[in-house]
């Protein structure tokens, strides 16, 4: 490369670095290059799908339906993740989980078809037909943060902490309330005992 060509390359580098482009590779240019090289690139997120679901679920705490109608701006978005008409008023705890999964796999390559059911217990049928998804009875404290938990009273939620030694699981659930109803109208964090859990689903 001749002198003129080298000068053009240096100018191009200087323009990229945001320093005066005089074509001279002096200390100002080299300091800018070293500063650029020493800048750490933010790490890309390698969060798993369950971790993404937990983060997203926490952001939804406090969302409520309007006037006990089973409808509302965000509630209707949850329901749109199922095969049912989201403009109609129907129980939406399962829709909330469908929406969490739908949003969390947007940028992921997954081996399963996402659920679109509006029925809590139907999640078991969905899980039995999928690869990369594990369905089990909740034994030996085998409920981890990120597991989908299906309750004995036709309700569903997301575990956001591992089961504790007392057999309690902290969950975030759609369509519940302070009393723990399955028709409560809000997204809330709850604490449920394993005796009320029918099964758990784990995305692997």
- pLDDT (tens digit per residue) in 101-135: 999 999 888 999 999 999 999 999 999 999 999 99
- Residue 45 confidence (pLDDT): 38
Q: 33 with 8, same domain?
A: yes
Q: What is the mean pLDDT of residues 5-21?
A: 64
Q: 95 with 195, same domain?
A: yes
The band of 23, judged by pLDDT with boundaries at 50, 70 and 90, is confident
Is residue 12 over pLDDT 50? Answer: yes
Q: 121 with 22, same domain?
A: no
What's 81's domain CATH number?
Answer: 3.90.1720.10
Residue with tokens 């999640």: 123
Q: Taking the complete model, does pTM exceed 0.75, yes or no? A: yes
User: In which domain, by residue range, is 8 found?
Assistant: 3-38
Q: 80 with 177, same domain?
A: yes
Beta bridge partners of 171: 159, 190
150: left (phi over 0), alpha (psi -120 to 50) or beta: beta
Is residue 9 over pLDDT 70? Answer: no
Q: 85 with 27, same domain?
A: no
The band of 22, judged by pLDDT with boundaries at 50, 70 and 90, is confident
Closest CA to 100 of 89, 111, 88, 92: 92
Q: 21 with 119, same domain?
A: no
Is residue 14 over pLDDT 60? Answer: no
Considering only 76-80, 153-157, 180-184, which range has the smallest mean pLDDT? Answer: 180-184
Q: 122 with 27, same domain?
A: no
Q: 160 with 105, same domain?
A: yes
Can you give the C-alpha Rg of the chain in angstroms? 25
Task: Please indicate whether residue 18 or residue 98 has the higher confidence score (pLDDT).
Answer: 98
Average pLDDT, the chain: 88
Q: What is the mean pLDDT of residues 93-99?
A: 98
Is residue 50 over pLDDT 80? Answer: yes
- The pLDDT tens digits of the residues spanning 24-49 come to 777 666 666 766 665 443 333 345 99
Is residue 204 over pLDDT 50? Answer: yes
- Residue 98 confidence (pLDDT): 98
- The pLDDT tens digits of the residues spanning 168-189 come to 999 999 999 999 999 999 999 9
**Residue 167 backbone phi and psi in degrees, to 5:** 85, 15
Identify whether 44 is part of a domain. no
Q: Which residues does 18 contact at the CB level (< 8 Å), separation at least 6?
A: 32
Closest CA to 50 of 197, 149, 130: 149
């Amino acid at each position: 490369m001749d002198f003129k060509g080298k000068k053009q390359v240096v100018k191009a580098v200087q323009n990229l670095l945001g320093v005066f482009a005089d074509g001279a590779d002096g200390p100002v240019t080299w300091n800018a290059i070293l500063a650029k090289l020493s800048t750490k690139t933010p790490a890309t997120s390698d969060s798993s799908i369950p971790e993404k679901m937990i983060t997203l679920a926490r952001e939804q705490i406090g969302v409520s339906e309007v006037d006990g109608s089973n409808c509302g701006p965000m509630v209707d978005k949850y329901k749109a993740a199922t095969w049912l008409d989201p403009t109609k008023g129907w129980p939406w705890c399962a829709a909330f989980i469908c929406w969490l999964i739908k949003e969390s796999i947007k940028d992921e390559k997954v081996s399963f078809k996402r659920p679109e059911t509006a029925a809590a217990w139907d999640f078991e049928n969905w899980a039995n037909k999928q690869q990369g998804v594990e369905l089990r009875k909740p034994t030996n404290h085998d409920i981890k943060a990120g597991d989908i938990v299906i309750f004995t009273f036709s309700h569903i939620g997301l575990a956001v902490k591992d089961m504790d030694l007392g057999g309690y699981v902290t969950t975030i659930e759609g369509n519940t309330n302070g009393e723990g109803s399955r028709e409560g109208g809000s997204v809330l964090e709850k604490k449920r005992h394993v005796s009320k859990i029918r099964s758990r689903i784990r995305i692997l």
